[in-house]
Amino acid sequence: MTRKTIGTNVLLGVTGGIAAYKAAQLASTLTKEGLMVRVVMTKGAENFVGPLTFASVTGNPVAGNMFDPAQEVTIGHIELARWADIIVVAPATANFLAKAGAGMADDLLTTVLLAARCPLLLAPAMNPQMYTHPAVKKNLEVLVKRGALVAGPASGRTACGEEGPGRMTEPDEIAELVRKNLAPQDLAGVRIVVTAGPTREHMDPVRYISNPSTGRMGLEIARSAWLRGASVTLVLGPTALEAPLGVNVRRVTTAQEMYEATVEAAADAHAVIKAAAVSDFAPKDCVTYKVKKEDGAGQACSFISTPDILAALGKEKKDRILIGFAAETEDVIKNGRSKLERKNLDMLVANDISAPDSGFAVTTNQVHFITREAEPQALPLMSKADVAWRILDKLSELKKGRF
């Protein structure tokens, strides 16, 4: 099973603000994700972006006039409300919030809202002075009490040149909140620790031992766990990739730092998924100055073993679910089984990093799931996002009857 959703139908309401141009990007992003997007525009919105833009990026006609016989025959306003798995209003202007808060139904969008029973996600966007007005605050409070979700707004320079809260949340972040509200919440209430990225062991202030890990696999696991309702702590080594939305990030550099942060975070966790590529060795007696090539110090470099994070967690496992990774270059299954037993794991995710499309610094992976009870399960080559989803499917199975 790849990434799944409870629903796929997104109704995007666009109201009359300058941020309406961002709604086109949001519609495009959601459509590319494979979701079915229909757009309802207010008359004010059409002053900023034309309906043809949204029709082009979604492949669906745009609705706007509640009294248009052609639209009503194709898909009526009540049918739109029933069709939607989630309604997103972006941008949500002060005028729209006032009408929605009062329960008005004087255009197609507000009428659809009254008939809908699906989740509602609002992305306010307006001048900072307007956003901080008590009336706007009250309208938002009313809508939240009725169950509406609110994304943002962000702070910064707005289109009118003023600084403060009122900028519409960026489309990518809104899209992520849509995904979360469409995803199964089978991990709600579960506390998960995920480790990701490489570690660095310095020989001197400018040189270190590391590996090519970008952290992508662990980041996708943390993201998918949050999407599915888990409370996620991400222990993250040095990486250029951004941490996902909604997770508690603890940044570390060395294997010792990752050990300490992971053990501490795992104390009250239900599960630990250790996807980080931790250095097994660290230079002994690291110096505080840059070693020169000509002084010969590099010839005398020696190493010590770093802490074994998985082994430490396995010794104190109790009811905690422990999932590890094994990046192998040969005998993937044999070495994976050995690591599973030695580290007292519930599941091991093993892959051959010598393959060009599996392992470090690529967006795809081909892995084997190794457990104690069943034969190893070989997964086909797929995106790391889909591998992460499959790992969490297994975690959802493993947690049954345990917590």
Flag whether pLDDT at 7 surpasses 90: no
Which H or E run contains 104?
none
Q: Do domains 9-182 and 191-398 have the same CATH topology?
A: yes
Return the closest-CA partner of residue 13 out of 104, 71, 59, 81: 81
Give the residue ranges of the annotated binding site: 280, 290, 307-310, 325, 339, 343
Q: Which segments are annotated as binding site for CTP?
A: 280, 290, 307-310, 325, 339, 343
Q: Which residue has the higher pLDDT, 28 or 357?
A: 28
What gap in Å lies between CA 328 and CA 166, rounded to an integer?
A: 50
Q: Residue 193 region, left (φ>0) first, then alpha (ψ -120 to 50), else beta?
A: beta
CATH of the structural domain 191-398, one choice from 3.40.190.10, 3.40.50.300, 3.30.420.60, 3.40.50.10300: 3.40.50.10300
**In the predicted model, is pLDDT for residue 90 greater than 90?**
yes
Helix ranges (DSSP H) in 196-289: 216-227, 255-266
Q: Comparing 245-259, 278-292, 311-325, 356-370, which segment has the lowest mean pLDDT?
A: 278-292
Query: For residue 51, is pLDDT > 70?
Result: yes
Residue 258, phi-psi category: left (phi > 0), alpha (psi -120 to 50), beta (remainder):
alpha
Q: Say yes or no to pLDDT of 320 above 80.
A: yes
Read off the pLDDT of residues 92-136 as tens digits, 9 standing for 90 and up.
999 999 999 999 999 999 999 999 999 999 999 999 999 999 999
Q: Are 89 and 121 in contact (CB under 8 A)?
A: yes
- pLDDT per residue over 325-334, tens digit each? 988 878 889 9
Q: Return the pLDDT at 145.
A: 96
Query: Alpha helix locations (H) across 33-76?
Result: 51-58, 69-74
Instruction: Determine the pLDDT at residue 165.
Output: 86
Q: Which residues are catalytic?
A: 160
Helix, strand or coil for residue 202? strand
Q: Is the pLDDT of residue 2 over 70?
A: no
Tens of pLDDT, residue by residue over 238-278, are: 999 999 999 999 999 999 999 999 999 999 999 999 999 99
Residues 215-232: tens digit of each pLDDT: 999 999 999 999 999 999
pLDDT band at 295 (very low <50, low <70, confident <90, very high): low
Query: Which CATH number applies to 9-182: 3.40.50.1950, 3.30.1360.40, 3.30.465.10, 3.50.50.60?
Result: 3.40.50.1950
Report if pTM > 0.95: no
Q: Where are the domains of the chain?
A: 9-182, 191-398
